[in-house]
Amino acid sequence: MSLRRRLARIGLALAALLSAPALAQHADFLVSTDWLEKNLDNPKLKVIEVSVNPGLFERGHIRGASNFSWHTDLVDTVSRDIASPQQFQALLARAGVNDDSTVVLYGDNNNWFAAWGAWVFDIYGVPNVKLLDGGRKKWEAEGRPLSNRVQVHAPGNAKVKTANAALRARLGDVLAVARQEKQAVLVDIRSADEYQGKVFAPSGVQELAVRAGHVPGAVNVPWGKLVAEDGTFKSAEELKAIYQAVGVDGSKPVITYCRIGERSSHSWFALSKLLGYDVRNYDGSWTEYGNSVGAPIANPAGTVWGKT
Amino acid sequence: MGQDLIVAVTSAPTPAGLVPAAGARLLALVVAVALVAAAFVLAGAGGGTAGRELAFSLLLGGAFGVTLQRSRFCFYCITRDFIERRETEGLVAILVALAAGTLGYLALLGAMLPVPTGRLPPGAHIGPLSVALVAGAALFGVGMTVSGSCISAHFYRLGEGHWPSLLALLGAAVGFVLGFLTWNPLYLGLIQAAPVVWLPQHLGYGGTALVQLALLGGLATVVWRAGQRARVAAPAIARATTSALPPPGLWTLLSTRRWPPVAAGLIVGFIGVLAYLRVAPLGVTAELGSLARTGVAAAGWLPDRLQGLDSFAGCATVVKAALLSNNGVFVLGLVGGAFAAALNAGAFRVARAGAGKLARQFAGGVLMGWGGMTALGCTVGTLLSGISAGAASGWVFGAVCVLAIWLSLAIARRGWGVGRAD
């Protein structure tokens, strides 16, 4: 029996046991640190670290994991785009991902960049991709072992599919929603201060927009609300309630955004995978929208460009 | 300057007559225990990886301080002793440290980045090869000569009671600020487009090991032969140091005798490799520079943006957000370790200094600060950690530094009074 089927069966069994269908989503798209440690030797399992801090993976990573650098591997830095199909195909091969592999992604910074990775995997149609719930932080906090020897994998045979445009929002899509020409709900997952326009970006960040504030009509649900103290995702019921409170109930398509699209991948993952809503991630995010000529913004803090 | 001062700061072995008082040994023990206790507190209080890294950095700094003090690992003094007196022990220690560091780093890098193409190893001190690097290394070399030590040696000598080093370090902080002020034009004009040469990308790990070991071995041979010629020419001096004293006990060897150069070099190389594996490459100026940057950033004296600076690995500086940094506790550990080692060896002396010496300390510090900031590190950060990682920038920094010391000493010999006092 393939691992995939076995996992699906475990998921179904759990769902039946607790008669909570939402939990099945958690089981389908998240693995626990405990489960991962016990299954590390399964050849069908491919673990990939996507961290933003250089040197973390090299000094110690989950044994057998491959390293995808968010800065260079998963993005096309010159054209400001996600990795090209050829680039991503080469990455998959390097990480030894096969057609029948189960991929577990994890990373630092509460899995922000690992979630970006999950989004790119989804865009290119790679099945059976899960996040390590709690990410690197939880793995380390639990004192689980790290290795610093890089394993070179036999090239994998998984093939990328045509990019699925339905998972990605473009500036035009967001503008149409802002102008109420299209039905969708925007979720701004940045901090309240960024949303209000009190600050342009968190301190120390160089990539900025010339205006502060948010897309008109967007609701503010900072990403941190979605996770427990240990970084694991809250239950589907809790997530549902958090979004319900701001009017996001899955009845309309959702668009998530942040500053450059990486934190919003984390919320995209929760909404799309754990709650099963129709969600696009807007990776242009505020650095594109806030800089765009003629794009309307909301700025409750009153710091609109030109008046500061 | 009194004779005792010269003895206290030269790279010569501790005179046999120095016997530490019991009180000094007790204090040394207290300092050592305090360092270890602080490490336990940091590991517990910091929580998780951050606390463990702080504790590790503190202990590694302590070990580095003890090693530098016990082996007189002062880059400038060692170079000067060779140039002036053909003393080879110190230089051999440096060459051994570089060889051990190279082998250790390459073994590590082979595990971290099995195929050395494309990206550079994370955080390794591999800098751009530019005229700015040459200028930084040259002024660093002159600054060492003027102030009598490189920055790492000022830290360990501070632990030996050489308080004038504080002025050199203050000068270095001022030099860092000058470096920030000149950074943007230098970066845009010279550094931004300069090539970053990491030898393993061109030669592979094996090739790099062969080339670097051959270079270091060649240098060692040249140094050794020059020393041998000097010893043959003046045999009495050579024999005087190996007089017929009874063989010392193990504790005396460890605590009061100068550590043998090969052992010292191996330990320094090993500490460098451990530091890179667990935290970051060795360096002693990052915290100093960060303090300077934070201070003047608050005063608004800095350019709004230091172009590209934060994208370089090296003894880069940051505006401080947290009180304790890995490099900060490393340097504290270094001074503490050197203090304990000096007390224990009876080598702790509160230095005496006149205004002229203090002025030289400060002026040399300013030159080193500017040079270290512009070259992205000093004799530890750029030379030791750079060459160990296979960075061409480390070799350039080292060569220019030695040349600058040699020239400065030549000028000093003509009676400018520079480089002599220490």
What are the structural domains of chain A?
32-164 (3.40.250.10), 168-289 (3.40.250.10)
Q: Nearest-CA neighbor of B172 among B395, B367, B401, B416?
A: B367
B364: tokens are: 């040399």
Burial class of residue B174 in the structure, from the number of CB atoms within 10 Å of its CB (0-12 exposed, 13-18 middle, 19+ buried): middle
Measured between alpha carbons, how far is A215 from B65 in angstroms, rounded to an integer? 56
B75 CA to chain A: closest CA distance, Å? 29
Is the pLDDT confidence value at B15 over 70?
A: no
CA distance B99 to B387: 9
What is the number of other CB atoms lying within 10 angstroms of the CB of residue A138?
Answer: 20
Continuous segment of H or E residues that includes residue B202: helix B199-233
Task: Tell me: pLDDT of B301 over 90.
Answer: no
> Pick the residue with more confidence: A221 or A143?
A221
Q: What does the pLDDT read at residue B3? A: 37
Please, where are the H alpha helices in chain A? 3-18, 21-29, 33-39, 56-59, 85-94, 108-123, 135-141, 171-178, 192-196, 236-244, 263-269, 285-289
Residues of A in contact with B112 (CB under 8 A): 58-59, 148, 150
| CA–CA distance, A229 with A235 (Å, rounded to integer) | 13
pLDDT in the model for residue A21: 45
Predicted confidence (pLDDT) at residue B1 exceeds the cutoff of 60: no
Q: Show the tokens assigned to B63.
A: 């070990």
Q: Is the pLDDT of residue B213 over 70?
A: yes
Residue closest to B197 by CA, chosen among B392, B386, B397, B374:
B392
- B248 band by pLDDT with thresholds 50, 70 and 90: confident
Q: Is B119's CB within 8 Å of A72's CB?
A: yes
CB contact under 8 A, A148 and B123: no
Chain B from 169 to 228: CB within 8 A of any A CB: none
Q: How many other CB atoms sit within 10 Å of the CB of residue B386?
A: 31
**Which residue on chain B is closest to A58 by alpha carbon?**
B112
- Nearest CB among A59, A150, A204 relative to B277 is that of A59
Hey, are the CB atoms on B112 and A152 less than 8 Å from each other? no
Which of the listed ranges A23-27, B142-146, B349-353 does the model predict with the highest average pLDDT? B142-146
With a cut of 60, say whether residue A82 has pLDDT above it: yes
Put simply, whether B48 touches A (Cβ < 8 Å) is: yes
> What mean pLDDT value characterizes chain B?
87
Q: Report the relative pairing of strands A75-76 and A81-82 from DSSP bridges.
A: antiparallel
Residues whose CB is less than 8 angstroms from the CB of residue B157 and which lie 6 or more positions away in sequence, other chains included: B9, B74, B149, B165, B338
Q: Which has more pLDDT, A284 or B112?
A: A284
Please write the tens of the pLDDT for every residue from A4-14.
666 666 655 55
Which residue among A258, A275, A279, A297 is the active-site one? A258
Residue of higher predicted confidence among B174 and A7: B174
Q: What is the pLDDT of residue B7?
A: 35
pLDDT beyond 70 at B115? yes
B386 touching chain A per CB within 8 A: no
How far is residue B188 CA from its own chain's centroid? 29
The minimum CA-CA distance between A145 and chain B, rounded to whole Å, is 13
pLDDT at A303 over 70: yes
Q: How confident is the model at residue B14 (pLDDT cuts 50, 70, 90)?
A: very low
Does residue B4 surpass a pLDDT of 50?
Answer: no
Tell me the pLDDT tens digit for each residue of B38-80: 999 998 875 677 888 999 999 999 999 999 999 999 999 999 9
The mean pLDDT value for B309-320 works out to 70
Least confident of B2-11, B91-100, B308-317: B2-11
Question: Can you give the residue ranges of every domain in chain B?
Answer: 3-8+20-238+249-416
Residue B214 banded pLDDT, cuts 50, 70, 90: very high
pTM of structure: 0.82
The count of other CB atoms within 10 Å of the CB of residue A56 is 20
Q: Which chain B positions have a beta carbon within 8 Å of A58's beta carbon?
A: 112-113, 121-122
Residue B51 touches partner A, C-beta closer than 8 Å: no
Residues in chain A with CB shorter than 8 Å from the CB of B280 are: 55
Q: What percent of chain A has pLDDT over 90?
A: 72
Kindly tell me if the per-residue pLDDT of A148 is higher than 80: yes
How large is the average pLDDT for residues A203-211? 79
CB contact under 8 A, B277 and A148: yes
Distance, CA of B230 to CA of B35 (rounded, Å): 42
Is residue A93 pLDDT above 50, yes or no? yes
Per-residue pLDDT at A17 = 46
The dihedrals phi and psi of B90, each to the nearest 5 degrees, come to -65, -45
Q: In B, which residues are within 8 Å of A150 by CB distance?
A: 111-114
- Edge to edge, the sheet with strand A219-220 lists A219-220, A185-188, A254-257, A279-281
| A149-167 residue pLDDT tens | 888 899 999 999 999 999 9
Residues in chain B, total: 422
Confidence check: pLDDT of A38 > 90: yes
pLDDT band for position A209 (50/70/90)? confident
Catalytic residue at A247? no
What is the average pLDDT across B289-312? 82
Average pLDDT over residues A18-40: 79
- Mean of the pLDDT values across residues B297-322? 74
Tens digit of pLDDT for each residue in A112-144?
999 999 999 999 999 999 999 999 999 998 989
pLDDT grade for B21, boundaries at 50, 70 and 90:
confident
